[in-house]
Structure 1
């Protein structure tokens, strides 16, 4: 009983630029209609906002724009490179200096409105590396209509377990797990844990 929407911009211009063929006014209207439905039916509305250098500071005006929308959960998360996307700026250099201020403002307003905010602490955002990296590269499988996570995976003929055995992945995971913490932390990773507020 939860409806989740992805959002990539608080302004009309940014939203329609990031969401190809998106119509900001229609999107906002749908959210308002869902808010009316929530008055009569038990339903949660969640917004997942993926931020990048081009849309992060807009979050400061999030609740001004979505004032008439009854949101239960707001999740803000950094952009992650998965699959082929038109947008290709994955840097957060411009976000990090202002992240703390924007996140604190969102948190205060979310608490006032009874909205659960899922976000990262600034320290975690600056250090986008974790011990989960050691296994992520083996088990993360991105699939879309145009791409498959590994070109040598025979999806019609084998299961992932069969593929993993054929490629020796269990042994490679064990080998990596026995490496030093310093070596493991050198793996790049975009997986961050959320703080629930």
Structure 2
């Protein structure tokens, strides 16, 4: 599972192959980036690789997949690279087997390590070109394990380490940072910065607001858009019969966006999933 949940119900509806093609046709022309799997595990869908192909066919500059990696085979890695994948993001959330399997319900530590070994072999052989990002969702119960990140994963070809403080997004697990654990978080991030720099790895981390209670920002809200079988971008977007450009024109988006830029007022905590995933990170 992509986020901490012991009893999360599976979504009953998924996009068909025809619907994916329609999404790509009407939406991807405006996309600078497509991230597959934010909020759900993409590899359980039979056409997840086809979606990468569609995005590249529509000239999306950056296409990534966010996954726990449990179902990815060596052949999948090769096919994804051939399809044009730019980045593979692996959710780990732990550096010890017991903690990993506790948070990543149903996942096996050995499969994660096996996947990383396959990535290393294929990268060393020059058979895959996409970059690797490790996503570590930090919380008070795993923050100390982050200190051992490079002891466990240091031999693998990681390009980016992303540390995201846990957010309340509906899973069974949510334990916010206390003043004491925030202090530890900041200390760990400072140490990681030095080690990442030594390894030539980009560190993305929230250093100003580890509690992750970010304010809603209208500019960010209009930049990051979430697509699911339940809602495609916006309830008012007729994605099956109009393009995203037509939607923007019909709803007066450009005028509203300019107004937002020149009169930004940050509201209370954001509830939009895409906005929250696309929130503040410092590049260290």
State the TM bucket, normalised to the shorter chain: 0.7 to 0.9
Within 2, Cα distance between the matches of 1:23 and 1:145?
28
1:63 to 147, 150, 153: 150
Unaligned runs of 5+ in 2: 1-80, 82-86, 271-275
TM-score w.r.t. the length of structure 1 is 0.72
Cross-structure match for 2:119: 34
Tell which has more relative contact order, 1 or 2 (C-alpha 8 A, sep 6+). 1
* 1:87 Cα deviation from its structure 2 partner: 4.9
In terms of mean alpha carbon deviation, does 5-14 or 99-108 score higher? 5-14
2:207 to 110, 122, 129: 122
Map 1:16-165 onto structure 2 (within 5 A): 16-41=101-126, 43=129, 44-79=131-166, 86-87=171-172, 89=174, 91-93=176-178, 95-112=181-198, 114-120=199-205, 122-123=207-208, 125=210, 133-165=217-249
Superimposed CA distance per residue, residues 117-174 of structure 1 (whole angstroms, 9 cap, x where no aligned partner): 31336236478658x9232223432113454342232210122222233333333223
TM-score w.r.t. the length of structure 2 is 0.54
Superimposed CA distance per residue, residues 82-121 of structure 1 (whole angstroms, 9 cap, x where no aligned partner): xx65356384446532222101222233334x24131336
Structure 1 residue runs of 4 or more that deviate by more than 6 Å after TM superposition: none
Within 1, Cα distance between the matches of 2:229 and 2:255?
31
* 1:3 Cα deviation from its structure 2 partner: 4.4
Would you say how many aligned residue pairs link Structure 1 and Structure 2? 189
Within 2, Cα distance between the matches of 1:20 and 1:185?
36
RMSD of aligned residue pairs (Cα, Å): 3.3
